[in-house]
Amino acid sequence: MIAALVPAKALPRAKGRLASLLSDDERRRLALAMLTDVLGALAAVPRIDLRAVVSPDSEVLAQAHSLSARPIVEPATVRGLNRALTYAADTLAAEGAEALLVLPLDVPALASAEVEALLDALPAQGEGVVLCPSAARGTGALALRPPQAIPFRFGRHSFLAHRREANARRLPLRVLRIPSLALDIDGPEDLLDLLSQPEEAPPRAAATRALVAAEPRLPPPEPESAAQPLTAPSVNPRTM
């Protein structure tokens, strides 16, 4: 079984860097829209047997359930993203997950073809790690076989930290560079980058685009001719 896992903070803490631009309620709705887009991209991938969301927030978990994803309640005793992911990964492994794909909530431009590329890069048997870096040297996606192949090291420069963990265990490691996973929505400029992307079929980030486009306080995006379209994944074929 291949499981996909999306962690989500409590909604009052979501997207704090956008507080100067969006109200608490608008940031809450933005987080839920991005969750909708990410889970939608995952739902279009037949190889993913289970989609799960781990969060301490009841509204996030209710949204996950409404989208046919498995809600995993983050226990009050768990503190921090990495411990929440460890708890959820252990839960899914105990239920039969043999591989795990971890994606952040704030990459709504993700497409199902890019999820397929991540799974293609993961060994079908044995052990392996696939890393996708974000623009700020973080981790845009992490695929593991088995789910506890390496400890989670999300945070500042987490791409390098995850790579060190894989190398220390001599695990096969592949790196994919996927533009949509480098474009995480953290600040106002990221929202504008998202809106400036040309429309595609099927559309990317449909729920997030609709919500952001309706927000009058945001300046208009650049013309489509000036935008850099999201491109196909680039794979580093070497074992790192």
Distance CA 66, CA 69 (A): 7
- Structural domain boundaries, residue 194: 2-236
Min mean pLDDT across 2-6, 65-69, 176-180 is at 176-180
End-to-end CA distance of the chain: 26
Of 20 and 120, the structure prediction assigns the larger pLDDT to: 120
The count of other CB atoms within 10 Å of the CB of residue 172 is: 17
- Preceding peptide of 198 cis, ω within 30°: no
**Whole-model pTM?**
0.85
Does residue 84 contact residue 67 with C-beta atoms inside 8 Å?
no
Q: Would you place residue 213 in the very low, low, confident or very high pLDDT band (cuts 50, 70, 90)?
A: confident
Percentage of residues in the chain having pLDDT higher than 70:
80
The count of structural domains within the chain is 1
pLDDT tens-digit readout, 158-176: 999 999 999 999 999 999 9
Task: Kindly list the distances between the CA atom of residue 43 and the CA atoms of 75, 110, 135, 228, 232, in Å, as whole numbers in the listed order.
Answer: 26, 12, 25, 27, 20
What is the pLDDT at residue 240? 44
- Residues with Cβ < 8 Å from 233, sequence gap 6 or more? 114, 117, 118, 176, 177, 178
The candidate with the shortest Cα–Cα distance to 55, out of 74, 68, 32, is: 74
Q: What's 29's domain CATH number?
A: 3.90.550.10
